[in-house]
Amino acid sequence: MKKLKPYYAVIFTSTHTENTKGYSEMASQMEGLAKQQQGFLGIESARETVGITVSYWENLDAIKTWKANTEHLLAQQKGREQWYNWYKVKICKVEREYEFKHD
Amino acid sequence: MKKLKPYYAVIFTSTHTENTKGYSEMASQMEGLAKQQQGFLGIESARETVGITVSYWENLDAIKTWKANTEHLLAQQKGREQWYNWYKVKICKVEREYEFKHD
């Protein structure tokens, strides 16, 4: 297992309400906006029973700045009012990683 | 944002080959086995284009022990030989978290 310069992961897990009107558009808009932020490293998403989005950041300040972004704040509010039954956010320091690629 | 006793997350992201025969059975078998391990705290999974499984553990030793579990080693080998085109494992320390529940 390779030692690496630590970076940060935000694990966002959520379940939806029945009213997901407008959600996909907003999600892709926010993903686009996140990618423009200073310190953004990457994002991965999948949804089945639960939705999991993991975004990666250079440091905690970048995460804090993104959380406080005006457009993102509006999206968060809309999410709490309409789209999400539940969500949980975990701020994590990535300490080690390893990768496999098939031949 | 609540300060908490740190715990660990293993973020496992992967893409499948076309040959996923036997994968679901093995995945649910491994999930059952993981739940029996010392230090196991929880697991969440979703797959669309990419599969994301996040498992949570009390400490790094628990993660190391689970990685070296004999049945799990066989599953990992089978995964590399047959099911996965690519995977990446990230070992993370969860430093902060917060939660939302709809009324």
Q: Classify residue A19 as left (phi > 0), alpha (psi -120 to 50) or beta.
A: beta
CB contacts of B90 in chain A (<8 Å) are 9, 94, 96-97
What is the separation of C-alpha A65 from the centre of its chain, rounded to a whole number of angstroms?
13
- CB of A50 closer than 8 Å to CB of A42: no
Q: Where are the domains of chain B?
A: 7-94
- The mean pLDDT value of chain B amounts to 95
Q: What would the pLDDT profile of B60-92 be if each residue is shown by its tens digit? A: 999 999 999 999 999 999 999 999 999 999 999
- On the 0-12 / 13-18 / 19+ scale of CB atoms within 10 A, A92 is buried
- The answer to whether domain A7-94 has CATH 3.30.70.100 is yes
- The pLDDT assigned to B96 comes to 95
- The pLDDT assigned to B3 comes to 61
Contacts of A102 (CB under 8 A, 6+ apart): B17, B80, B84, B85, B86
- The pLDDT assigned to B103 comes to 78
Q: What would the pLDDT profile of A15-27 be if each residue is shown by its tens digit? A: 999 999 999 999 9
The rounded distance, in Å, linking the Cα atoms of A103 and B13 is 18
Q: What is the pTM of this model?
A: 0.94
Query: Does A4 contact B at CB distance below 8 Å?
Result: no
Instruction: Tell me the pLDDT band of B5, cut-offs 50, 70 and 90.
Output: confident
- CB of B41 closer than 8 Å to CB of B34: no
Q: What would the pLDDT profile of B33-52 be if each residue is shown by its tens digit? A: 999 999 999 999 999 999 99
Sign of CA dihedral B61, B64, B68, B69: positive
Write the residue in A46, A91, A99 that is nearest to B46 by C-beta: A46
State the smallest CA–CA distance between residue A36 and chain B in angstroms: 22
Terminal-residue alpha carbon distance, chain A: 20
- The pLDDT assigned to B44 comes to 97
Instruction: Tell me the pLDDT band of A103, cut-offs 50, 70 and 90.
Output: confident
